[in-house]
């Protein structure tokens, strides 16, 4: 089931539930309030009836003829009302009992209960002679004659809570109106839900289509990134992912091309020399075989270096950790590179830090490899008469490290993010012999990351590049 359909069903369920709940609550509240209103009206009528019935009992002294009195009550009340308003018993008055509105006002059911609790009169003629419960009689209005209660009168809802006549029609009209309004509200909510579901699912559908395009290797058009919602954030992330995939794909192709180029040179030399020996071009002696052997060694080193980098990047590198004293490491590097620096007339300087603990928990061999690769890189690009400075860094409470700066041509800002890529050489014109294979810094970067550290490139105050390595303090 598609997300759009599921969302539509969810909105439908919510709209229906909300409509039913609203209808139920408003309907019950309206009925409760209306019943309270009807009871208040019946109570007011009962008070009027109680005074009239009190006058009747005072005149008759008994409830024997009370039923006949109630049956004739609408006509009598109309006569009384017209007499008070017109001074005569004119049957043509505006309150004539034959008029429908007035008869509706006098159509309420009336019950008279005597002092014993026996019903002596009932306009519906259903309860005459029965004994009414006192809990029910207490809802009525006492009929008081000379300060003595001679009975109780109950009107309409005091007798039966069921609504009748105008009251029933009014509540039915309210029910129909509520049902219609809640249905319209639910329908509008459903329409808005459908539009909202379409608005949510359209970007997701575009994303699914874009995913299929990328999967099939076709030309990809970036998704729209409108707004700052989660969907827009997902589109941005997808665009970033596809951009990174394209970059990695291009890098992969470049690595393959560079690897093929690096492998082709020694393989071509070996093949040429062997074919030359077969054809008699080169003599089959120790000197020629030695040249072939040197090329096989170079080819083997390249393959080993690639394999080493692959192991490091895949997380399979096993570090033989121990306490590593960085003072000893930098001093050893100075001793190792001093002859090469002197041969190229390069000044190799070591700037030591204070005597505080300058140790890390790491692999001595791998950290030596990092430092040697960085110094070797500096040696390649520092001209004769230049300077290479190794500086120990021990100023942070959490990290220690070292930096290597040189007075070479430096590295442009646009190139700094790529110097740790495989086979990347800043000077593309340099040969493998003079410029290296472009793997040393890539290996150094991965080793530092494996130790939980970082390596950064900046401009050195000597004029060239500055490589800074930071490692967690022991």
How far is Cα 272 from Cα 101, in angstroms, rounded to an integer? Answer: 124
Residue 289 sits in the same domain as residue 417: no
| Residue 364 or 239, more confident | 364
| Residue 428 or 251, more confident | 251
Residue 334 sits in the same domain as residue 357: yes
- The residues facing 142 across adjacent strands are 152
Over 60: is that where the pLDDT of 209 sits?
Answer: yes
- pLDDT number for residue 164: 64
Over 60: is that where the pLDDT of 247 sits?
Answer: yes
- pLDDT number for residue 20: 85
Residue 32 sits in the same domain as residue 84: yes
Residue 347 counted as domain residue: yes
Q: Rounded to 10 degrees, what is the CA torsion of 239, 245, 248, 249?
A: -130
Over 70: is that where the pLDDT of 386 sits?
Answer: yes
Residue 415 counted as domain residue: yes
Residue 343 sits in the same domain as residue 370: yes
Residue 176 counted as domain residue: no
Both tokens of residue 281?
């071009």
Examine the fold and report which residue of 135, 166, 197 is the final residue of a domain before the chain moves on.
166
Examine the fold and report which residue of 148, 166, 184 is the final residue of a domain before the chain moves on.
166
- The residues facing 323 across adjacent strands are 361
Residue 304 sits in the same domain as residue 353: no
* Among 198-207, 218-227, 400-409, the range of highest mean pLDDT: 400-409
Mean per-residue pLDDT over the chain, rounded? 80
Residue 250 sits in the same domain as residue 108: no
| CA–CA distances in Å: residue 332 to residues 327, 337, 364, 370, 474 | 9, 9, 12, 13, 20
- pLDDT number for residue 293: 83
Neighbours of 310 (CB within 10 A): 13
| CA–CA distances in Å: residue 87 to residues 15, 81, 82, 119, 383 | 63, 10, 7, 36, 133
Once rounded to an integer, what is the mean pLDDT over residues 110-114? Answer: 90
Residue 445 counted as domain residue: yes
- pLDDT number for residue 333: 92
Once rounded to an integer, what is the mean pLDDT over residues 120-142? Answer: 86
**Structure confidence at residue 448 as a pLDDT band (50, 70, 90):** very high
Residue 428 sits in the same domain as residue 351: yes
**Structure confidence at residue 356 as a pLDDT band (50, 70, 90):** low
Residue 372 counted as domain residue: yes
Over 60: is that where the pLDDT of 92 sits?
Answer: no
Over 60: is that where the pLDDT of 175 sits?
Answer: yes
Once rounded to an integer, what is the mean pLDDT over residues 53-67? Answer: 88
- pLDDT number for residue 147: 85
Domain count, the chain: 3
Q: C-alpha angle 28/31/33, rounded to 5°?
A: 110
Once rounded to an integer, what is the mean pLDDT over residues 10-19? Answer: 81
| Residue 199 or 409, more confident | 409
Pairing verdict, β 454-459 and 387-393: unpaired
| Residue 431 or 311, more confident | 311
| Residue 255 or 269, more confident | 269
Residue 309 sits in the same domain as residue 331: no
Q: Which of 453, 442, 436, 420 is nearest to 310 (CA)?
A: 442
Its domain, for residue 468, covers 321-472
- pLDDT number for residue 435: 44
Residue 285 sits in the same domain as residue 367: no
Once rounded to an integer, what is the mean pLDDT over residues 355-384? Answer: 88
Q: Which of 146, 135, 93 is nearest to 113 (CA)?
A: 135
- pLDDT number for residue 423: 65
Neighbours of 273 (CB within 10 A): 17
Residue 422 sits in the same domain as residue 369: yes
Examine the fold and report which residue of 313, 341, 357 is the final residue of a domain before the chain moves on.
313
Which residue, chain included where needed, has tokens 């290597």?
Answer: 404
Over 90: is that where the pLDDT of 349 sits?
Answer: yes
How far is Cα 392 from Cα 471, in angstroms, rounded to an integer? Answer: 12
**Structure confidence at residue 183 as a pLDDT band (50, 70, 90):** confident
Once rounded to an integer, what is the mean pLDDT over residues 421-443? Answer: 60
| Residue 309 or 123, more confident | 123
Looking at the chain, the whole-number percentage of residues with pLDDT higher than 90 is 20
Residue 348 sits in the same domain as residue 234: no
Over 60: is that where the pLDDT of 430 sits?
Answer: no
Neighbours of 368 (CB within 10 A): 15
- pLDDT number for residue 224: 72
Whichever domain contains 451, its CATH number is 3.30.565.10
User: Any residues with CB less than 8 A from the CB of 211 and at least 6 apart, and which?
Assistant: 238
- pLDDT number for residue 428: 47
Residue 56 sits in the same domain as residue 115: yes
Whichever domain contains 243, its CATH number is 1.10.287.130
């Amino acid at each position: 089931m598609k997300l759009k359909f599921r969302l539509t069903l969810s909105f439908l369920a919510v709209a229906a539930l909300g409509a039913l709940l609203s209808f139920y609550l408003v309907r019950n509240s309206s009925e409760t309030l209306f019943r309270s209103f009807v009871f208040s009206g019946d109570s007011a009528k009962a008070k009027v009836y109680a005074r009239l019935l009190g006058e009747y009992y005072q005149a008759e002294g008994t409830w024997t003829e009370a039923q006949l009195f109630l049956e004739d009550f609408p006509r009598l009340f109309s006569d009384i009302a017209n007499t008070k308003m017109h001074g005569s018993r004119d049957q043509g008055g505006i309150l004539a009992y034959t008029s429908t509105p007035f008869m509706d006002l006098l159509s309420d059911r009336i019950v008279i209960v005597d002092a014993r609790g026996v019903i002596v009169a009932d306009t519906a003629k259903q309860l005459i002679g029965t004994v009414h419960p006192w809990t029910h009689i207490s809802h009525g209005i006492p009929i008081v004659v000379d300060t003595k209660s001679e009975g109780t009168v109950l009107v309409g809802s005091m007798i039966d809570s069921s609504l009748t006549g105008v009251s029933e029609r009014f509540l039915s009209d309210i029910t129909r109106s509520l049902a219609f309004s809640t249905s319209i509200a639910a329908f509008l909510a459903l329409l808005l839900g459908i539009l909202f579901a379409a608005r949510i699912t359209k970007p997701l559908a575009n994303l699914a289509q874009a995913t299929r395009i990328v999967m099939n290797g076709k030309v990809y058009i970036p998704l729209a990134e409108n707004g700052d919602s989660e969907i827009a954030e997902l589109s941005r992330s997808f665009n970033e992912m596809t951009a990174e995939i394209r970059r990695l794909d291009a890098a992969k192709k470049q690595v393959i091309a560079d690897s093929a180029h690096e492998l082709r040179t020694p393989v071509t030399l070996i093949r040429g020399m062997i074919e030359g020996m077969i054809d008699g071009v080169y003599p089959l002696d120790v000197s020629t075989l030695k040249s072939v052997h040197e090329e096989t060694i170079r080819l083997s080193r390249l393959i080993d270096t690639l394999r080493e980098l692959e192991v490091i990047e895949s997380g399979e590198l096993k570090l033989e950790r121990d306490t590593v004293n960085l003072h000893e490491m930098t001093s050893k590097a100075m001793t190792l590179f001093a002859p090469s620096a002197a041969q190229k007339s390069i000044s190799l300087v070591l700037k030591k830090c204070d005597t505080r603990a300058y140790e890390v928990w790491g692999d001595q061999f791998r950290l030596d490899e990092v430092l040697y690769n960085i110094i070797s890189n500096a040696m390649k690009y520092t001209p004769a008469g230049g300077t290479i400075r190794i500086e120990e860094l021990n100023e942070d409470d959490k990290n220690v490290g070292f930096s290597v700066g040189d007075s070479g041509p430096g590295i442009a800002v646009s190139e700094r993010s790529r110097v740790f890529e495989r086979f990347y050489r800043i000077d593309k014109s340099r040969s493998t012999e003079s410029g290296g294979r472009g793997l040393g810094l890539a290996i150094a970067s991965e080793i530092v990351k494996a130790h939980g550290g970082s390596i950064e490139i900046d401009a050195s105050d000597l004029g060239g590049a500055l490589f800074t390595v930071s490692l967690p303090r022991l």
